[in-house]
Amino acid sequence: MVFFEGERRFELEDLLRASAEMLGKGGFGTAYKAVLDDGGVVAVKRLKDASVGGKREFEQHMEILGRLRHPNLVNLRAYYFAREEKLLVYDYMANGSLFWLLHGNRGIGRTPLDWTTRLKIAAGAARGLAFIHGSCKSLKLIHGNVKSTNVLIDQLGNARVSDYGLSIFGPPTSAGTRSNGYRAPEAALDHRKLTQKSDVYAFGVVLLELLTGKCPSIVDHGNGAEYSGGVVDLPRWVQSVVREEWTAEVFDLELMRYRDIEEEMVGLLQIAMACTSASPDQRPKMCHVVRMIEEMRGVDVSPCHENVDSVSESPALSEGACGVSQ
């Protein structure tokens, strides 16, 4: 086990002995909640289907990800590499994901996600992603898999972006690319075309998800035809509704109970539509997205300049360290 920040709280044997509960299965492996003998809880991602490559390449990339520290990121605490087993250890987020808050338990007894909380989550996730993008100028680090299941909520209700930087381990094309409603048009069939601007597109889809309450999933039936139970393409659907000047039809019915938020909802919708522009050059940088969201209300404002996503909160990460995995 290799630990970051010198904190060696447990050994591999402790992790393997821990009681584990599966949290979910993704494109790069399976995530578990692990309860250690001392009562500590961590999240463990087991990279099963990932195309990892050699040990040196893996370790260099982990060194970069492990040094990223920001209040809106899920911290990578440790990793383990062996030929048959690759593990990533993260902080555990007990409050689950944005996906569950939005789409889980939509029946009787559901607690609606209020507008202030949605806006706070949008701002926090934007800050986390902006930090990733600016943390290493020479490397142009990307998230590569922005979606609502990768926006987790901590104990204080803050958004924490997870699973960042793992797209490098994906195969050139995969089954997941065609079924991902967050994937930018230019990267739809080849993950090697993922860039910071495709991250911006995916973040825009997350904003549309927050605004509409709809799930942006696409189902591929294997014959080239793509259908979904509701929305085939969330950005395209929103654009068509707005074009017909039925903008109010876009918003989640759960939001209709709150007063005096229409201007803010329309403002966030405009940001989301800019992020999901078909042309990458037309999409704003994440730092600018942060500024626009924070200026809407002035809550949780932290100054967002071009250098906001510097490594000030991660002093150990230098330009030299960034370049090692190129």
- What backbone torsions phi and psi does residue 290 show, to the nearest 5 degrees? -55, -50
Quote the CA–CA distance of 208 and 277 in Å, as a whole number.
13
Which residue, among 17, 152, 123, 8, has the nearest Cα to 77 in the 3D structure?
8
Asked if 149 and 90 touch (Cβ cutoff 8 Å), the reply is no
Quote the CA–CA distance of 287 and 276 in Å, as a whole number.
16
Which residue, among 112, 139, 145, 65, has the nearest Cα to 314 in the 3D structure?
65
End-to-end CA distance of the chain: 24
Q: Which two tokens stand for residue 146?
A: 């922005």
Q: Is 48 annotated as a binding residue?
A: no
The sign one gets for the Cα dihedral 280, 151, 262, 243 is positive
Q: How many CB atoms lie within 10 A of CB 40?
A: 13
Which residue, among 304, 234, 218, has the nearest Cα to 276 in the 3D structure?
234
Quote the CA–CA distance of 180 and 176 in Å, as a whole number.
6
Asked if 36 and 60 touch (Cβ cutoff 8 Å), the reply is no
Q: Which two tokens stand for residue 73?
A: 């990121």
For the annotated binding site for ATP, the residues are 45
For the annotated binding site, the residues are 45
